[in-house]
Amino acid sequence: MYGSESLVFIDESGFEDIQSCIYGWSKKGKKVYGEKQGKRGTRENLVAGRRKKEKDLIAPMLFRGSLNADGFEGWLVKYLLPELKIISILIMDNAPIHRKNVIRDLVESAGHKVLFLPKYSPDLNDIEHDFSALKRARMYAPVGTSLDEVIRDYCAI
């Protein structure tokens, strides 16, 4: 009934506005000087889904600010669920914005299933690897490259 192609991994991730290399080198005991500030700037956030063994993101949404439970559920109903052409199992972490009962009702009323991962288990969520690769691609992208362009390039490969 369900195969690996029915698995859809879901998560959110934040991206810093300041693009700089996070590594430096100096002799032992010497300070490393660079352009990176210690403070966080404005963050651009991404929420998306991803099928097992596929690189394309499903219903990616970029936004500034924080994602709350209502916003996540709105994205789920308005963008993600309509994109799912086959019966799917949605897999997500236990973030506080993932209200289990509400999400389960929304997902099951659309004919799909939901699976919440155990706490502190990001390695079980395949989309985490994509977010890591996107952050690395953004870090090495030319100055002025938008996050939207980085995501499009990543999905096109």
- Residue where the block lists tokens 């952050």: 135
Which residue type sits at 108? Answer: E
Instruction: Please state, in angstroms and as integers, the Cα–Cα distance from residue 79 to each residue in 50, 74, 94, 143, following that order.
Output: 13, 8, 21, 30
29 assigned to some structural domain: no
DSSP of 24-70, one letter per residue? ---STTPPP--S--SS---EEEEEEEEETT--SEEEEEEEES---HH
At 157 the pLDDT is 60
- 134 pLDDT band, cuts 50/70/90, is very high
* Residue 49 covered by a domain: yes
Across residues 82-98, what is the average pLDDT?
93
Q: How far apart are CA 29 and CA 50, in angstroms?
A: 44
The two three-digit tokens of residue 24, written as one number: 């430096």
72 Cα distance to chain centroid: 12
Task: Summarize the confidence of residues 81-103 as an average pLDDT.
Answer: 93
Tell whether the model's pLDDT for residue 1 goes beyond 70: no
- What is the domain range of residue 65? 4-14+39-156
- Separation between Cα atoms, residue 145 and residue 153, nearest integer Å: 11
pLDDT in tens, 8-55: 999 999 887 665 556 677 888 888 776 665 555 678 899 999 998 787
Average pLDDT across the chain, whole number: 87
Domains held by the chain: number: 1
Integer-rounded Cα radius of gyration of the chain: 18
Please name the amino acid found at residue 126.
Answer: D
Flag whether 43 is in a domain: yes
Q: Regarding predicted confidence, which is higher, 20 or 78?
A: 78
Please report whether residue 22 resides in a domain.
Answer: no
Report yes or no on 20 lying in a domain: no
Residue 117 exposed, middle or buried by CB count within 10 Å (0-12, 13-18, 19+): middle
Structure-model confidence comparison of residues 65 and 86, the more confident one = 86
Handedness of CA 137, 117, 112, 5 (dihedral sign): positive
- Note whether residue 122 is domain-resident: yes
Average pLDDT over residues 91-116: 94
| pLDDT on residue 21 | 57
CATH code of the domain containing 108: 3.30.420.10
Q: What is the per-residue pLDDT for 23?
A: 66
Structural domain contains residue 19? no
Asked whether residue 110 is assigned to any structural domain, the reply reads: yes
